Structure 1
Amino acid sequence: MEILVVGGTKYFGIPMVQKLIEQGHRITLATRQTAQDCFGEQVERIKIEKTNPESLKNAFSGRRYDVVIDKLGYCSNDMKYMMETVCFNKYIYMSSTAVYQPKVVDTREELFDGLHKELVWCNRTDFSYDEIKRQAECALWQEYRDRNWIAVRYPFVTSKDDYTKRLLFYIEHAMKGMPMNIDNVDSQMSLIHAKEAGEFLAYLVDIDFQGAINGCSDNTVSIREILDYVETKTGKKSIINSSGDAAPYNGEPSHSINTDKAKRLGYQFSNLNDWLWDLVDYYIGITTINV
């Protein structure tokens, strides 16, 4: 198939594109081309400015794609620009579990109703991250219901090459004796590994499905469990107080993400415990070098 990937040159976009190449698809990467990618001659490349509809129109004029995977869409105007300038048979949008208000135990896709929430045409800076992601989905649900689209909702994505360094924050602070301001140390939270996040997007290319779908590793974990593990492995006890550095996962309530829809489509996510503690060990190792 002819697949257009908007973004896809870093983090979980890399295993996604690698999987698409393995599956034999012809890939076109659309980016601002401000950074090199690792795919060599295996992909075609187009330069675009995602927030400029004229740039998109010029880049994609006369082209048609079987599937578009949009990893850079954020707001409702982003949806409008893509829907009205690119010809495609299926559109896969990288959404987020941030659309849920709030996340709860066993969070199911139906918890966010993009069909009846008021749609506001907005740009990326008009609202908070969670609200612009909701508005992006509202545009799909209300204005483009007749188009073949999937909105994939992930929680926090992490791995060894996580450029956000959110999980690493806790390990580094614990091992270096740096105080942390953590407001949800006992909240059970969901995560997904970057490799799996990319490969699930690639899996959906060949799947007959339309609408919103969650993706997430099975099981949950709390920050306290992670810090206790670090203390057991290293003897370093965390310092938690309100005057410390604000922790990156602050504000997350106890929740779990239901992935029954994905399982019914034949995809089985990994168990969080199968990879998380190896990742924490890795972070302990690289932090030990720098302590």
Structure 2
Amino acid sequence: MKKVLVMGGTRFFGKKLVQHLLDEGNEVTIATRGRTPDPHEGQVKRLVLDREDAGSLRAAADAGPWDVVYDQICYSPQNAADACEAFQGKTSRYIVVSTRGVYDHQPQRITEGDFNPYAYPVKLAGRSEFTYEEGKRQSEAVFFQQANFPVCAVRIPIVLGTDDYTRRLHFHVEHVRGGLPIGVPQPEARMSFIHSGEAASFLAWLANVPQLTGPVNACSDGEVTMRDIIAWTEEAVGRQAIMTPAAEAEHLSPFAIPDSYYLDTSKARAEGYRFESIRDWMPALIREIASAGGEA
């Protein structure tokens, strides 16, 4: 049994991560602002955490020591620097959720070496000073250059599921059903995705693979194009899509990208993890959303 701290963990794949950890018999503490309900009543301990307050973070660290810390809510180099100080000597393993957004778009498969946080210049500032992507780059740079405990940064692509509160697949189902245009500038661009369930299971698996540190890509096996997604949506809805290379912002696909953007997962696979095939779950997920009237 491990003593695990999860910062975040009350919605989307964070809830699933917590359940995985509980199912494995771990002692789990969730640290959040305390505003969002979750389904783990009576199963977890709770701490109130303001991620922007270094003192609040130190209090969470002092509730340890922790075998594993999951940080799903680090968005700036200042957040990361505060964590490096707070958890010094307080954790054996630190797993931070990062993003494929640390990479630039490129036509070939992206490996972890395509962004090097160990040599990236740090600009210490808060979240408001950066885009989401740059905030994650800066966060990784601080962790890997300053932390005195082992860190793994999980670079994930877009996460999908029926419980996706951003409703990105729902957008496509609703637009096709409603006969609305969908802006897709590059229909053949190749993309990586991951299901919310697999994102959670991969993160939970990492707790038991202490030798896997540094950046690691995590995504479903294979990649898809917007043309694939539109075709599966047309089949699920029973209506032809109106796909256009340009559209007003409200009709632009949430997956619209200027070039291919897909990840290499050789590092994780070399440690024994086997990712699901994207073509096994994505069409089924689209059908599930469509059968629920787009309201899943």
The TM-score, its normalising length taken from structure 1, stands at: 0.94
Alignment of 1:169 with 2:198, yes or no, is no
Partner of 2:18: 17
Alignment of 1:37 with 2:38, yes or no, is yes
User: How far is 1:172 from its partner?
Assistant: 1.1
Partner of 1:149: 151
- Paired AA for residue 13 in structure 1: G
SS of aligned partner of 2:138: helix
- Does the aligned pair in 1 maintain the 2:173–2:294 contact within 8 Å? no
Alignment of 1:63 with 2:64, yes or no, is yes
Equivalent-residue separation in structure 1 for 2:105 and 2:46 (angstroms): 39
After superposition, the Cα gap between the structure-2 partners of 1:103 and 1:45, relative to the gap in structure 1 and judged at 3 Å, is farther
Partner of 1:116: 119
- Does the aligned pair in 2 maintain the 1:189–1:252 contact within 8 Å? no
Which segments of structure 1 move beyond 6 Å, counting only runs of 4 or more? none
- Paired AA for residue 110 in structure 1: G
Q: Which structure 1 residue ranges, 5 or more long, are not aligned?
A: none
Equivalent-residue separation in structure 2 for 1:288 and 1:81 (angstroms): 41
User: How far is 1:94 from its partner?
Assistant: 0.3
User: How far is 1:62 from its partner?
Assistant: 5.4
User: How far is 1:186 from its partner?
Assistant: 2.0
- Does the aligned pair in 1 maintain the 2:170–2:294 contact within 8 Å? no
Which stretch has the larger CA shift, 227-236 or 104-113? Answer: 227-236
Equivalent-residue separation in structure 2 for 1:65 and 1:127 (angstroms): 30
Equivalent-residue separation in structure 2 for 1:129 and 1:288 (angstroms): 28
Partner of 1:257: 263
Partner of 2:95: 92
Equivalent-residue separation in structure 2 for 1:84 and 1:289 (angstroms): 44
User: How far is 1:228 from its partner?
Assistant: 2.0
After superposition, the Cα gap between the structure-2 partners of 1:38 and 1:126, relative to the gap in structure 1 and judged at 3 Å, is same
- Paired AA for residue 30 in structure 2: L
Partner of 1:194: 196
| Deviation string, structure 1 residues 239-265 (Cα, Å, up to 9, x no partner) | 234344222112252132111111111
Alignment of 1:27 with 2:33, yes or no, is no
After superposition, the Cα gap between the structure-2 partners of 1:182 and 1:270, relative to the gap in structure 1 and judged at 3 Å, is same
Equivalent-residue separation in structure 2 for 1:171 and 1:85 (angstroms): 45
- Does the aligned pair in 1 maintain the 2:105–2:260 contact within 8 Å? no
Equivalent-residue separation in structure 1 for 2:258 and 2:161 (angstroms): 19
Q: Which structure 2 residue ranges, 5 or more long, are not aligned?
A: none
SS of aligned partner of 2:67: strand
Which stretch has the larger CA shift, 119-128 or 157-166? Answer: 119-128
SS of aligned partner of 1:139: helix
Equivalent-residue separation in structure 2 for 1:182 and 1:287 (angstroms): 23
- Identical aligned residues as a percent: 32
Equivalent-residue separation in structure 1 for 2:20 and 2:294 (angstroms): 34
- Paired AA for residue 148 in structure 1: P
| Deviation string, structure 1 residues 125-154 (Cα, Å, up to 9, x no partner) | 21111111111111122222x421100010
Equivalent-residue separation in structure 2 for 1:45 and 1:133 (angstroms): 26
Partner of 1:7: 8
Alignment of 1:229 with 2:235, yes or no, is no
Equivalent-residue separation in structure 2 for 1:102 and 1:270 (angstroms): 23
User: How far is 1:237 from its partner?
Assistant: 1.9
Equivalent-residue separation in structure 2 for 1:200 and 1:243 (angstroms): 36
Partner of 1:101: 104
- Paired AA for residue 91 in structure 1: Y
Equivalent-residue separation in structure 2 for 1:103 and 1:75 (angstroms): 25
After superposition, the Cα gap between the structure-2 partners of 1:130 and 1:289, relative to the gap in structure 1 and judged at 3 Å, is closer
Which stretch has the larger CA shift, 280-289 or 172-181? Answer: 280-289
Q: CA RMSD in A?
A: 1.8
| Deviation string, structure 1 residues 12-47 (Cα, Å, up to 9, x no partner) | 011211111111111010000001111111110000
Equivalent pairs counted in the alignment come to 289
Equivalent-residue separation in structure 1 for 2:152 and 2:288 (angstroms): 34
SS of aligned partner of 1:284: helix
SS of aligned partner of 2:110: coil
Which stretch has the larger CA shift, 254-263 or 265-274? Answer: 254-263
After superposition, the Cα gap between the structure-2 partners of 1:288 and 1:93, relative to the gap in structure 1 and judged at 3 Å, is closer
SS of aligned partner of 2:29: strand
